[in-house]
Structures are given as structure tokens and as C-alpha cells.
Amino acid sequence: MYKYMLKHKLLTVFNIAFTIIDSALNVALALVLKLLFEAGSSGSIIELRNAIVVFSLYIFVSSIVWMILKALRASLLRKCLTDLKNQIFTKIIYRSINVFNEENSAKSISLLTNDINILEQDYYTNLFELLTNLVGFIIATIALIRLNIYIALFIFILELIPLSMPVVFGKSLSKHKNKYSDSIGLFTVKIKDIFSGFEVVKGFNIEKRILKDYSISNGEAELARYRYNIFAGITDSLALAFGLIMFLGTIGLSRYFVINGKMTIGYMIAATQLMNNIVNPLVALSSRLNRLKSTKLIEDKINDILNKEDGSVEGISKNSFDDKICFNNVSFSYDGEKNVLKNVNFTIEKGRKYAIVGNSGGGKSTVLKLLLRYYDNFSGDILIDGIDNRNIKAEDLYKLVTIIHQNIYMFDSSIKDNITLFEGYDDTDVENAIKKAGLGALINKLDHGINSAVGENGCNLSGGEKQRIAIARAIIKNTPILVIDEATSSLDNETSYNIENSILNIPDLTCIVVTHKLNEDILKRYDEILVLKDGTLSEKGTFGELMGKKGFFYNLYNVA
Ligand SMILES: Nc1ncnc2c1ncn2[C@@H]1O[C@H](COP(=O)(O)OP(=O)(O)O)[C@@H](O)[C@H]1O
Ligand SMILES: [Mg+2]
């Protein structure tokens, strides 16, 4: 984590320099106090006046130094955290879909929010304070040795106790902190989940049940925080108690020297103040070291993300689709037990149009997901122009194939942005996509037309409108292969017929359309219909051929 500081060398150097000046000023307070006390007890007005001037000057200088130091720290902190969060996010966003799917995204969300806050407090801020403590401690120790070696020795021996505490408690503290960080992560996800299902919660009157769920999760997170706080509290209090013992010891010892005439009262004040400058940092030092150690596991989590293979294959770059896609004996299971696809074989030829139909849960969406390499642990091969899709650069694969999903994600922006996905397309391209996707009437109706806001995940739009935007989004991308997963399910028959028609009319476009709307006029337009039944490809052929077979497709069609 310190490497983020090293990236801003000058700022770090300034931070260190001002930390040292600040610590030195802290220690100098002992000498200023000594001056003030001696002037006060001497009875000389001039000496007192001078001492007050020095004291005022001290307050002035140290508050300025303090302000500069805070500003420098804030600035370094901002830079480090921005870099760190950018680096983590960049790593995640460039992951391949299969690697991203391996993990609960909640973990990453929590890492970028909660864990970063813990790091800010317990690593960076703590590290600066640690430096203040360390420098203060060293300067005060040197000053005390020069003042009175016996008191210095006494403190040295006792200070071994608080210093050993990080060794004794560090591991458990780290464990508690990690549990706390994990449970806060789960809690974040819970809330996110509940809020995204808000309408279901209301519509089914399940507030009570959700509240119970929430309470459990909340309780667990707070319990973990409580345990951590208790544990940290115990170590802190122990350190504090040792500090007090040392404080009393020092007063007793200096008092002894004063009685024996080996020390003035001014020196005694200075020694006590110096002792404060030794003990306080030391007490803080041990708990700070503990806290620093406890961030180790968060650091590990971050390193895990940063070092994880992102699944992008260096592999083959492929810029055109020339011939065909072959599924050869493809079998796949999500959970390693139930085979969702079983020895599926088919060929998709360039420029032709294919429909995939079948029973619900039959594996239609899975076929598309495998083609797009959302998972790569299938057996058999999926070859695009003879190249295994697992060896094609992900970026290139998505330049060849566009998918329109069943569930459409909308960015909280305008209709136009959701069609172009923030790329600068020509107005004519945008208009063409709008026309083909059947969006013209909708856009004309809206006050702000194409610049109307769609709302959070498209909440201002109907399901059918979202589907048409998704279709326009795919059309404008203009890839040689278009894959559609029941993307017209929310549309009325006429609209869906028109859209499917306009897509099927795009020459040279290779289309694979999963559909459960078995409309004769449309189905007849496909070059081939692939029929999936419980994970096996049970039939394939043209509409006429399949109807003639009077098999599974025939039954599906007649039921629909
Ligand atoms: N992410 C997943 N994890 C586990 N099982 C899944 C997942 N997605 C789909 N399945 C299962 O795989 C089977 C096929 O699903 P899918 O391909 O979505 O069917 P279809 O699109 O034909 O309705 C179903 O039994 C479904 O429950
Ligand atoms: Mg499906």
C-alpha cells in the first residue's frame, strides 16, 4: 500500500518533513513550559514577559505548522486513495465475463467502499500518526537522556511492556477486523438487494419478512464491529494503563531528585512533559502498530484482486467473420453435476438466419452464453471460422458478436446514450437504428425526444421500450453476428413481428434468435430452426421440415 505514496515522492517528502517539524515542536513545548515556569517563579516581570512572548510565538508557529501538515496529509491521502481505487476498478472492469462471474460482485463493492475506508483510517492516517509518534518519541527520548539519565532508564525499561502488545494481540485484532470487514460487505449487498427488489417487497407485503432478514444481517455486522471494538478497546486500555503507571513513576522519581536537590522544579516540569512526549506516543505506537497490522488482510484482499488473472486471453486476434460457427459436441454444467447441455452439435453459416426454440430451461440461453464465452469450462469446441472461441481475444470476440439479452441493462442517462453507449455515432446511424428497432413513434411522443432520460435502470420506460432500445443498441454496433435472446418477449405481436422482420432483412447479418413466440410467418423466414429439448439438440430444419416430422417441434408449435 505504501507504493501509492511513493508515486507522489515530493508530496511524501513534504509530509515527512512537516511531520518531523511538528513532532519537534511538540517536544519543544517541554522547554517552553520550563521557561515559563522558571520565569513565573523567579518573580522578574521582564523574564515573565519574555517567556509569554516566546509562548505566544510557539502557539503561532505550531498552529501554522499543524495546518500545513493537515493539508499535506489530506492531499497525499486523496491521491493515494484515488489511485488505489482506480487501479482496483480498472482491474475488475477489464476482467473477462467468466472470471467476473466466478466471484460475488458484492465482495468488490465492499472492497471499494468499506474496506477502503478502513484502509484510510487504519493504514494511511495511522501511518502518518505513527511517524509523528515515532519522531516525537525519539526526540523526546534524546532530550530526556540529556536531562536526567535515571528517569530515562526507568522509562525505557517500563516501555517494553506496551511495546510487546502488538506482538501479543496483533493477530487476533487482525482476525476480528477481517470478520468485521466481511460482515459489513455482506450487509452492503443485502441492502443493495432489498432496494433493487423494492417493488416486489411492497407488492407482496413482505416488509416484515424483509425487515427480519435485514435485522439479522444488520445484527451480524454490528456484532462483528462490536467484537472488534471491544478487542481494540481492551488493547488500547491496557496500553493506556501502562502509560499512567509510567507517568506516576516519573513524577515520583523526579520528585525524589527535586527533594535531593538534584533538580529544579522547572526541570521536573520539563521531565514530566518529556515523559508525556515519550509515553503518549508509545502508548499510541503500540495500538497504532496493532491497527496497522490488522489491515494486512485487507491488503491481501486487494492484492488478490490486483494479481488475479483477469481471464483475458492474449490469444488470437480476429477481425472478421468469414465462414461459419461450429458447435462440436458441446456439453456444459453450471454446477459440475447437472449437465445443462449434452453433446450439442450444429453449424451456423455466415449470413444465414437461425432460430433456437425449445422448452423453458432447455439450455437456449446457455448456448448463447457459451458462444460469447461467459463460461469457458465446457467440453467440446465452439469454433468460429475454425478458431476455438476460448482462444480469441475477448475484445475481438465482442466486435464480432453482439448479444441482446433477456434482461436489459439501462444506464441512467438519455435514450440516445443508451443506444450509442456513449460512442460518437453519426446521426444517420442513430436514426437508422431507431427506425429498425421500431422506436420512432416513442421518441416522437417524448418532450425531449432522443435526449429524454430513461431513469435508473430504465425505470421511466416500459419493458417493450427497453427491449427496443436494446435492439437499436445492437443494430448500431453493426457486428457481423447478432444474437438475440428472447428480446422481443415484452412486445406485442405486431411490433415484435416488425422488428424481427427488419432484423431478418439486414443482408449479410448472421442471426441467431432465441424465441418462444412461435409465429409461422416469422419462423418460415429462418434458414434453419434448432430445437433444444432438455439440453440436447433434438431436431433441426426449416419450419416446413420440422412440421412434417411431427416431433417435438410440432408439439411445441401446436401447444403455442
Ligand atoms: N447461472 C446459472 N447457474 C446455475 N444453473 C443455471 C444458470 N443459468 C441457467 N441455469 C440452469 O440451466 C438450465 C438451462 O437454462 P437456460 O439456458 O437459461 O434455459 P432456457 O434459456 O432454454 O430457458 C436451467 O435448468 C437453468 O436452471
Ligand atoms: Mg433463456
Higher pLDDT, 506 or 64: 64
Question: pLDDT tens digits, residue range 236-248?
Answer: 788 778 778 878 8
Q: How far away, in angstroms, is 404 Cα from ligand 2 center? A: 12
Give the count of beta carbons closer than 10 Å to the beta carbon of residue 234: 12
For residue 274, the model assigns a pLDDT of 85
Q: What is the pLDDT of residue 334?
A: 92
The answer to whether residue 83 sits within a structural domain is: yes
Q: Is residue 314 part of a domain?
A: no
Alpha-carbon span 21 to 37, nearest angstrom: 24
Say yes or no: 269 and 337 in one domain: no
Residue nearest atom 3 of ligand 1, based on CA coordinates: 334
| Average pLDDT value over all residues in the chain | 88
Q: Pick from 171-180, 186-195, 320-329 the range whose average pLDDT is largest.
A: 320-329
- How far is ligand 1, taken at its centre, from the CA of residue 375, in Å? 13
The residue contributing the CA closest to ligand 1 atom 16 is 363
Whether the per-residue pLDDT at 374 is higher than 70: the answer is yes
Q: d(Cα 26, Cα 15) in Å, to the nearest integer? A: 16
Q: Tell me the percentage of the chain whose pLDDT exceeds 70.
A: 99
3-state secondary structure of 383: strand
Q: Same domain for 329 and 300? A: no
Q: Could you say which of 249, 273, 307 is where a domain stops?
A: 307
Ligand 1 pocket test, candidate residues 334, 335, 356, 536, most atoms within 8 A of CB: 334
214 and 74 share one domain: yes
Listed residue (555, 513, 534, 552) closest to 343, CA to CA: 534
**What backbone phi and psi angles, to 5 degrees, belong to 61?**
-65, -45
Closest CA to 370 of 332, 406, 408: 332
pLDDT average, residue stretch 239-268 = 83
Is 360 within the bounds of a domain?
yes
If you count DSSP H runs as helices and E runs as strands, how many of each does the chain have, helices first?
22, 10
Q: How many domains does the chain have?
A: 2
Reported as a single tens digit per residue, the pLDDT across 185-217 is 888 888 888 888 888 888 888 999 999 999 999
Kindly state whether residues 107 and 255 are assigned to the same domain.
yes
Nearest to 437 by CA among 517, 524, 514, 495: 495
Please give the pLDDT value at position 464.
84
- Report how far ligand 2's centroid is from the alpha carbon of 363 (Å): 7
Number of the ligand 1 atom closest to the C-alpha atom of 367: 17
Residue 374, number of CB atoms within 10 A of its CB:
16
CATH number of the domain that residue 67 is part of: 1.20.1560.10
- Ranked by mean pLDDT, the top range of 138-152, 205-219, 282-296, 453-467 is 205-219
Ligand 1: lining residues by beta carbon, under 6 Å? 334-335, 340, 358, 360-366
Q: Say whether 185 sits in a helix, a strand or coil.
A: helix
Higher pLDDT, 114 or 367: 367
Q: Is residue 272 domain-resident?
A: yes
Q: 517 C-alpha vs ligand 2 centroid, how far in Å?
A: 13
Are residues 262 and 231 located together in one domain of the fold? yes
Q: 481-485 and 341-349: which strand pairing? A: unpaired
User: Of the bound ligands, which one is closest to the alpha carbon of residue 489?
Assistant: 2
Exposed / middle / buried, residue 369 (Cβ in 10 Å: 0-12, 13-18, 19+): buried
**Which is it for strands 510-514 and 353-358: parallel, antiparallel or unpaired?**
parallel
> What is the per-residue DSSP string for 108-157?
HHHIIIIIHHHHIIIIIIHHHHHHHHHHHHHHHHHHHHHH-HHHHHHHHH
Number of the ligand 1 atom closest to the C-alpha atom of 360:
23
Predicted confidence (pLDDT) at residue 235 exceeds the cutoff of 70: yes
Mean pLDDT of 294-321: 84
* Position 316 in a domain: no
* 273, 307, 341 - which closes a domain: 307
Same domain (yes/no): 294, 350 = no
Ligand 1: atom nearest CA of 364 is 22
Whether 130 and 285 have beta carbons less than 8 Å apart is answered as yes
Q: Is 96 helix (H, G, I), strand (E, B) or coil?
A: coil
- Given this model, what pLDDT does residue 313 score? 64
Write the CATH number for 424. 3.40.50.300
Q: How far is the CA of 334 from the centre of ligand 1 (A)?
A: 8
- Between the CA of 333 and the centroid of ligand 1 the distance, in Å, is 9
Written as one string, the DSSP assignment of 452-514 is -B--GGGTTS-HHHHHHHHHHHHHHH--SEEEEESTTTTS-HHHHHHHHHHHHTSTT-EEEEE
Q: Residues 341, 263: one domain?
A: no
Residues 116 and 208 in one domain: yes
Burial 281-293 (b: 16+ CB within 10 A, else e): bbbbbbbbbbbbb
- The span from the CA of 282 to the CA of 166, in Å, is 12
- Does residue 187 lie in a domain region? yes
pLDDT at 450: 92
Mean pLDDT of 127-155: 87
Distance 402 CA to ligand 2 centre (A): 16
pLDDT band for position 312 (cuts 50, 70, 90): low
- Could you tell me the residue range of the domain that residue 267 belongs to? 3-307
Give nearest CA residue, ligand 1 atom 2. 334
Residues 132 and 245 placed together within one structural domain of the fold: yes
**pLDDT tier at 554 (50, 70, 90 boundaries)?**
very high
Tell me the pLDDT tens digit for each residue of 429-474.
Answer: 999 999 988 899 889 999 999 999 998 888 888 888 888 899 899 9
Which residue's alpha carbon is at the smallest distance from atom 1 of ligand 1?
Answer: 334
Comparing 163 with 293, the larger pLDDT belongs to 293
Say if CB 546 and CB 531 are below 8 A apart: yes
At residue 15, the pLDDT reads: 93
Residue 144's pLDDT is 87
Q: State whether 418 and 300 are in the same domain.
A: no
CA 367 / ligand 2 centre spacing (Å): 9
Question: Is there a single domain that holds both residue 23 and residue 49?
Answer: yes
On the question of pLDDT at 488 being above 80, the answer is: no
Q: Atom 18 in ligand 1: which residue has the minimum CA distance?
A: 365
Cα of 84 vs centre of ligand 1, distance in Å, is: 37
Q: Which residue would you say has higher pLDDT here, 54 or 290?
A: 54
State which ligand 1 atom lies nearest to the alpha carbon of 366. 17
User: Would you say residue 528 has pLDDT above 80?
Assistant: yes
Q: Catalogue the long-range contacts made by 248-254 (C-beta closer than 8 Å, 24 or more residues apart).
A: 249/154, 249/155, 249/158, 250/151, 250/154, 250/155, 250/275, 250/279, 253/150, 253/151, 253/154, 254/148, 254/151
Q: Are residues 140 and 188 in the same domain?
A: yes
Atom of ligand 1 lying closest to residue 485 CA = 21
- Domain edge (last residue) among 282, 307, 332: 307
Residue nearest to atom 25 of ligand 1 (CA): 361
Q: Measuring from atom 26 of ligand 1, which residue has the nearest CA?
A: 361
Question: Does residue 319 belong to any structural domain of this protein?
Answer: no
Q: Residue holding cell 503518549?
A: 280
Rounded alpha-carbon distances, angstroms, from residue 443 to 181, 427, 496 = 47, 14, 18
Give the rounded percent of residues in the chain with a pLDDT score beyond 90.
42
Judged by its nearest atom, the ligand closest to the C-alpha of residue 366 is: 1
Domain-embedded: residue 364: yes
